[in-house]
Amino acid sequence: MTTGCIGQTKYELDTPTLCIELDLMESNIRMMSDNIRGKGVSWRPHAKCHKTPVIALKQIRAGAIGVTCAKVSEAEVMAASGIDDILIANMIVGQKKWERLAALCRDSRPIVACDHFAQIEPLSEICVRNGVTCRVIIEVNIGLDRVGSRPGRDTYDLAEAISKLRGIEFAGIMGYEGHLLRIEDPREKRQKILDALSVLTECADKLRRDGLKCDIVSAGGTGSYQIAAECEGITELQAGGGIFADVFYQEQCHVTGLDSSLTVLATVVSRPTLDRAVLDSGRKTLNPDTQSPLVKNWPDAQIKRMSAEHCELTLGPLSQNLKIGDKVELIVGYADFTTPLHDYFYGFRGDRLEVIWPIAGRGKLQ
Ligand SMILES: Cc1ncc(COP(=O)(O)O)c(C=O)c1O
């Protein structure tokens, strides 16, 4: 599809197509930004759900201080679009990647996470050789048990050692409370998240008492951002996916106040029986891992099974009139796994196509 489609309605487009409801996404961006900044916390949204600089720039115009990425190559894409304050919230290892990080430091101001001296000592040497300084934060394990240094002695020793390196600026700490997002009971969820984040803020306090600069204390995802924004001592939040407010956040994380804005437009390609329809959008189009998509506007149509190129629906009385050639929208279950399957976002204002954005970070895995 080309820009010749601009102005067309959703139902004139070929499928499958990854569609954004721009009004809804923009109102989600405003809502997240206002909510977080209203609590005196900075917003540095994770870009893994969109991987698209034009969306990151919209978030920055709405008040975000920069962007969070997971990969050096994603950071390069953002930097090439003029975004300079970029957190790579991931461990970066390998000579080639350290060289690229040092190169990034020439025109932008990346921050890279670490949980071991071995990730940063070689970066220091390369930065010194290139005459640049790279900001570094320590990821602390606050209970997710994925990566992260242990809170306490390990973290303090690492911070002290990093602070002595040339070509490196120790900038603070981060943690991610991803293991607590799905807790059903709101009071229990709130308390457990505040407890986990207090591990991080106590670490930051101790580092400062020891004379180390710890400007950044970063945490928070969409599934917890309203709670994390209230935690005293957290300076910035990484919540990002809420701009699409996928089914995952609404149903599994019980996030309120945001509207789903990302769908896949599909076509009915087969009607094998009265109560079955098959769409042209399977797992290569819409990844159901983590959370299955929902059928929009057809409440009694259920997704029965997804294979590589097919999505099979079971139809109820309200949806049994669907016929071959009809278009159906599927609300994306979890954008992180679906966005990277597509070349473009198709942005709609009302029912008219307004923009086509290349997903520039697609395939940027290194
Ligand atoms: C390091 C890190 N920060 C933040 C997030 C939250 O991102 P989102 O708000 O898009 O769910 C995640 C999610 O996996 C993460 O791994």
Q: Cα angle vertex 225, ends 222, 227, to 5°?
A: 145
Q: Which mutation among 90, 181, 238, 258 tests ligand 1's pocket best, with the greatest number of atoms within 8 A of CB?
A: 238
**Atom 12 of ligand 1, residue of closest alpha carbon:** 221
221 lines ligand 1 (CB under 6 A): yes
For the chain, the first-to-last Cα distance in angstroms comes to 28
pLDDT at 3: 74
Distance CA 71, CA 41 (A): 24
The atom of ligand 1 lying closest to the CA of 113 is 1
CA of 15 to the centre of ligand 1 (A): 29
Q: Is the pLDDT of residue 38 over 70?
A: yes
With CA atoms as reference, report the closest residue to 262 among 239, 293, 236.
Answer: 293
Report which residue type is found at 124: S
Average pLDDT over residues 182-186: 98
- Quick one: pLDDT at residue 105? 98
pLDDT tens across 70-119, in order? Answer: 999 999 999 999 999 999 999 999 999 999 999 999 999 999 999 999 99
CA of 164 to the centre of ligand 1 (A): 30
Q: Give the mean pLDDT of 279-299.
A: 97
For residue 309, the CA-to-ligand 1 centroid distance in Å is: 29
What is the value of pTM for the model shown? 0.97
The structural domains of the chain, with segments of one domain joined by +, span 3-18+258-358, 84-239
Q: Ligand 1 center to residue 3 CA distance, Å? A: 32
Per-residue pLDDT tens over the stretch 126-162: 999 999 999 999 999 999 999 999 999 999 999 999 9
* The CATH number of the domain covering residues in 3-18+258-358: 2.40.37.20
Averaged confidence pLDDT in the chain: 97
Nearest atom of ligand 1 to the alpha carbon of 239 = 9
Q: Bridge-partner residues for 342, per DSSP? A: none
Q: Among 28, 36, 46, which residue has the most ligand 1 atoms within 8 Å of its CB, making it the best to mutate?
A: 46
How does strand 134-139 pair with strand 168-174?
Answer: parallel
Among residues 112, 121, 127, 174, which one has the least CA distance to residue 149? 174
Q: What separation in Å is there between the alpha carbon of 176 and the centre of ligand 1?
A: 7
Beta-strand relationship, 327-331 and 294-295: antiparallel
User: What pLDDT score was predicted for residue 4?
Assistant: 83
- Per-residue pLDDT band at 1 (split at 50, 70, 90): low
CB 148 less than 6 A from any atom of ligand 1 = no
Residues 6+ apart with CB under 8 A from 321: none
Contact 241 CB / ligand 1 (< 6 Å): yes
The angle that helices 72-80 and 95-107 make with each other, rounded to 10 degrees, is 20
User: How close is the Cα of 154 to the center of ligand 1, in Å?
Assistant: 24
CA 113–ligand 1 middle distance (angstroms): 14
Query: Over 90: is that where the pLDDT of 338 sits?
Result: yes
What DSSP character marks residue 150?
P
Kindly tell me if the per-residue pLDDT of 345 is higher than 90: yes
Percent of the chain whose predicted confidence (pLDDT) is above 70: 99
Band of residue 304 on the pLDDT scale cut at 50, 70, 90:
very high
Residue 136, phi then psi, degrees to nearest 5:
-135, 135
Instruction: Confirm if 346 and 17 have CB atoms less than 8 A apart.
Output: yes
Cis amide bond preceding 16, omega within 30: yes
pLDDT at 2: 65
Residue whose CA is closest, atom 10 of ligand 1? 241
**303 C-beta closer than 6 A to ligand 1:** no
Q: What is 84-239's CATH topology?
A: TIM Barrel (3.20.20)
Is the minimum distance from the CB of 66 to ligand 1 under 6 angstroms?
no
Asked if residue 178 has its Cβ within 6 Å of ligand 1, the reply is: yes
**C-beta of 46 in contact with ligand 1 (< 6 A):** yes
Task: Provide the token pair at 201.
Answer: 């803020």
